[in-house]
Amino acid sequence: MAVFWEGDKMAKISTMFSGSRGNCTYISSGNCSLLVDAGVSAKQILLGLEQRMFNPQKIGGIFITHSHTDHISGLRVLLKKLNIPVFASKETLGSLILADVFNSKSKYYDIEDSPELSMDVGVDFFRTSHDCSGSGGYVFTFNNGEKAAVCTDLGYVSDLVRKAITGVKTIVIESNHDVGMLQNGIYPFATKQRILSDEGHLSNVACANELPSLVKNGASNIILAHLSRDNNTPDLASVTARSVLIENGLKENIDYTLDVAPPSGGRIMYI
């Protein structure tokens, strides 16, 4: 577990960018600010931080889930502008090195073998099933004891993933596609099979079926994320999730809140 700066300000999360065009999530607690992924341009990331009045100079780490373009496309330039350490799995770091993402001043660490750096936000990595070696998600533990998870890009919810995110208060979870839209859409057959596979992406139904157990075990804030721009809509994702939660006797704004992360401009949620 890597741990960052001490502070007592309220923890917050913002899915600044989400979806097939690029992903970047901001997380902070006290004086500690972190990013998960840098999948849009550095210019867009810095503008997103500025719009939310987040200080980029206070970002203490960038946590990369995997090396697909929609998660790393802005990383090279961002590291030239800001001296921020990068954390990822060994496999992902290897891919980033081969892609010449790092510069001579870059610091990067294997998240599964990182030292404890300070006191405030704890970070735990868990492996996910995706067609990218070293793919994973993160659970962040704040100094108030609350937790947030970022869990996207997974073909299915494994027992390991389910264990990692159970008991977490705020969960950013993939609700990538509507199966009917995907099957009847314009994608080539091979691409459809990839997305539907156990190493692809989580469908609305597969995501929704996980939510009742998560809510009953403490998840009070659900953020549906990484929606496909071609094979999903925010309404389809939210309706599918709500219907399953209702079927299980759970009430919105009493037992849980439900948000859908937009492609850009995700709101700030306090934890």
pLDDT band at 91; cut points 50, 70, 90:
very high
Q: Measuring CA to CA, which residue among 145, 144, 93 is closest to residue 114?
A: 93
User: What radius of gyration, in Å, describes the C-alpha atoms of the chain?
Assistant: 17
- 221: β partners: 170, 257
Residue of 81 and 2 predicted with greater confidence:
81
Question: What is the structure's pLDDT at 6?
Answer: 45
Q: What is the mean pLDDT of residues 93-102?
A: 98
- Examine the pLDDT at 269 and tell me if it is beyond 50: yes
Record the pTM.
Answer: 0.95
pLDDT band at 8; cut points 50, 70, 90:
very low
- Examine the pLDDT at 15 and tell me if it is beyond 50: yes
148 touches 165 (CB < 8 A): no
- Of all residues in the chain, the percent with pLDDT exceeding 70 is 94
Question: What is the structure's pLDDT at 7?
Answer: 47
CA end-to-end distance (rounded Å), the chain: 21
- Of all residues in the chain, the percent with pLDDT exceeding 90 is 86
* Beta strands at 12-17 and 268-270: parallel, antiparallel or unpaired: antiparallel
φ and ψ at residue 189, rounded to 5 degrees: -55, -45
pLDDT band at 115; cut points 50, 70, 90:
low
Give Cα separations from 123 to 40, 101, 150, 211, 263 (angstroms): 23, 23, 11, 23, 25
pLDDT band at 10; cut points 50, 70, 90:
confident
Dihedral angle computed from the Cα positions of residues 219, 220, 226 and 231, in that order, rounded to the nearest 10 degrees? 100
User: What average pLDDT does the structure give for the chain?
Assistant: 94
Give Cα separations from 134 to 38, 69, 73, 131, 243 (angstroms): 17, 14, 17, 9, 33
What are 226's two structure tokens?
């990484």
Residue type, 113: D
- pLDDT tens for each residue of 27-71: 998 778 999 999 999 999 999 999 999 999 989 999 999 999 999
Integer Cα distance of 242 and 259 in angstroms: 11
pLDDT band at 1; cut points 50, 70, 90:
low
What are 69's two structure tokens?
């373009």
- pLDDT tens for each residue of 200-223: 999 999 999 999 999 999 999 999
Residue type, 111: I
